[in-house]
Amino acid sequence: MLNLKTHTTIALGYFILAACLGVLLRSFISYEIPINYKYIVHTHSHIALLGWVYVALTTLLYKLFIQTPSADKTYRKIFWFTQLTLVGMLLTFPFQGYALFSIFFSTLFLFASYWFFWFFAKYGKREFKQNISYKCMKWALWYLVLSSLGPWALGGIMNTLGADSVWYRLAIYFYLHFQYNGWMMMALFGLFFYVLEQHDCKLSKNTFNKFLWGINTGIILSFFLSTLFADPPRLLNVLGGAGAVLQLMAFGILAMVSIGNGLIWRIKLSPLQNALMKTVAFLLAIKMMLQL
């Protein structure tokens, strides 16, 4: 069975490693360091997103929604295959940037994420499948898969239009947008709803559907905010702005229901857990307001 402490330690290890790489990047301002700055940038971004965040979230998804003896063996294969791809990226990106071997391990990671997507859909516990937390997690994983279209497009763009093309940057921004605003944000909402459900605090179906429609429509439309650098038609600017408004409205619905109906006060959390939840909620609100 899953040893949550071990897997959490591995995820935190990637977090510490990403932090150290961040310190190294800042050091380039003050010191002459005989290594390629861009290579370290690539290493940092991959270890932060795919090491720390991805490993932490997929560990929680398995622990909360799947963990059974029948699924454990398959999960271990997925987990260690994922670690192989991450170690491969860690050993290649600092020395060659985007090149043959680093691209090879990055591509393997995409297949690992597809494997986990299939695994979650197949082994998710039946008793959770009607829960709103589970539905949020399914949307999160769909966004994870959708984001991967960006990296897949890069090869064709580089071979035809070149790395200086506007489409090259758009493919990268597409990937990052649906990672941050899709996969990660929806997973956080799913974890919040899971905590509510564990304390028998439930949203009405009507309220959840309003939230889900608003947040999903907002996530998709707000991608156009990432295209502003390309001076797109005014319609795309309007759609991007509408997406930002819809995200904020959906978050507002969730906040008003959670606070107004007293749901948030019925959750029994430790002082640290309570502080973390409030911090995450505050930062999400700031993030959404800054998109306007």
pLDDT tens digits, residue range 181-205? 999 999 999 999 998 888 888 788 8
C-alpha torsion angle, residues 217, 220, 225, 227 (rounded to 10): -150
User: Is 90 exceeded by the pLDDT of residue 263?
Assistant: no
Does residue 262 surpass a pLDDT of 70?
A: no
User: What pLDDT is stored for residue 57 in this prediction?
Assistant: 97
- Tens-place pLDDT, residues 95-117: 998 888 999 999 999 999 999 99
Looking at the fold, whether 139 and 222 belong to one and the same domain comes out as: yes
Q: Domain range for residue 111?
A: 1-128
For the chain, give the mean pLDDT.
91
CA atoms of 156 and 4, how far apart (whole Å):
40
- Is residue 212 located within the same domain as residue 254? yes
**Among 100, 128, 156, residue at a domain's last position:** 128
> Do residues 89 and 138 both lie within one domain?
no
Q: Interhelix angle for 54-65 vs 69-96, to 10°?
A: 180
Same-domain check for residues 91 and 207: no
DSSP per-residue letters across 136-183: HHHHHHHHHHHHTHHHHHHHHHHHHT-TTSHHHHHHHHHHHHIIIIII
Whether 1 shows a pLDDT value over 90: the answer reads no
| Global confidence as pTM | 0.94
Based on the domain organization, do 69 and 157 belong to the same domain? no
Kindly state the average pLDDT of the residues 221-226: 96
Residues 170 and 106 grouped into a single domain:
no
Q: Is the pLDDT of residue 254 over 70?
A: yes
Among 80, 112, 128, identify where a domain stops.
128
Q: Which long-range contacts (C-beta less than 8 Å, at least 24 apart) are formed by 125-133?
A: 125/65, 125/66, 125/68, 128/65, 131/193, 131/194, 131/197, 132/193, 132/197, 132/202, 132/203, 132/208, 133/65, 133/190, 133/191, 133/193, 133/194, 133/196, 133/197
pLDDT band at 69 (very low <50, low <70, confident <90, very high): confident
Collapsing DSSP to helix, strand or coil, 22 comes out as helix
Neighbours of 140 (CB within 10 A): 22
Residues 1 and 59 in one domain: yes
